[in-house]
Amino acid sequence: MRQKMFPAVTIAVCLVVTIFFLLLIYSPLQSEISSLQMETRRLQAVEKNLNEFKRRHGELEKFSALTEKRLYEAQKFLPATPAQDIFVAEIYRIAEKNNVLINSVQIGELETVDEKVEDKKIFRQNIRLNIAADYFSTLNFLREILNGSRLATLENISLESGENILNGELELSIFNLGASS
């Protein structure tokens, strides 16, 4: 009887060992291999994107320097403090460059603007200028101020024509982010 049962037991043991191998060793290894292959594909895509980024931007130090420069320009455009003295000095420099005579400068009080940027208040400060210049000098002066490195808006302009000279008053607003002094 042992001899009759031996082939059946052998086949049963082989089946159990095969099922044990499939369930406990082969299947988990296959799923691990599959997840490693997916992770490898993902990392290859990231590496491809990094190489494309490096190719597009050249050396990363140059890209970083350019980004820092852009950030500096943005902070100059909307600074954290009013820095009206720096702006007034820039106005005088622009006036001299464009042959505009500034007769007086009056700096107003800081006012809060209703809008916020990144939960920081925006402040506005009016600056009144009394100027004298010819038409094209006045135009170039205004254009250079409004297209300058600092956020400035022209609130009011009142000009009177004299002998080839415009006399008048300009009211500009400058803005700053988050500091009221």
Residue 80, SS3? coil
Average pLDDT over residues 111-130: 80
The answer, yes or no, to whether residue 180 has pLDDT greater than 70, is: no
Residue with the larger pLDDT of the pair 103 and 66: 103
CATH 3.90.245.10 fits 78-177, yes or no: no
Helices of type H across the chain: 2-21, 27-57, 60-77, 84-97, 135-146
How do beta strands 120-133 and 152-161 pair?
unpaired
pTM above 0.85, yes or no: no
The answer, yes or no, to whether residue 48 has pLDDT greater than 90, is: yes
Average pLDDT over residues 153-175: 89
Average pLDDT over residues 82-106: 88
At 129-138, the pLDDT tens digits run 999 999 999 9
Q: What is the pLDDT of residue 178?
A: 67
The answer, yes or no, to whether residue 113 has pLDDT greater than 80, is: no
Run of H or E residues at 156: strand 152-161
Residue 42, SS3? helix
Q: What is the pLDDT of residue 108?
A: 84
Q: Where are the domains of the chain?
A: 2-58, 78-177
What is the Cα–Cα distance from 18 to 124, expressed in whole angstroms? 80
Partners of residue 131 on adjacent β-strands: 102, 168
What is the Cα–Cα distance from 142 to 119, expressed in whole angstroms? 32
Q: What is the pLDDT of residue 111?
A: 82
What is the Cα–Cα distance from 17 to 29, expressed in whole angstroms? 17
Average pLDDT over residues 32-56: 89
3-state secondary structure 81-131: CCCHHHHHHHHHHHHHHCCCEEEEEEEEEEEEEEEEECCEEEEEEEEEEEE
End-to-end CA distance of the chain: 104
Average pLDDT over residues 140-144: 92
Going across the sheet that includes 120-133, the strands are 101-117, 120-133, 166-177, 152-161
Largest separation between any pair of C-alpha atoms in the chain: 133
Average pLDDT over residues 8-33: 82
Residue with the larger pLDDT of the pair 138 and 70: 138
Query: pLDDT-based confidence at 118, cuts 50/70/90?
Result: low
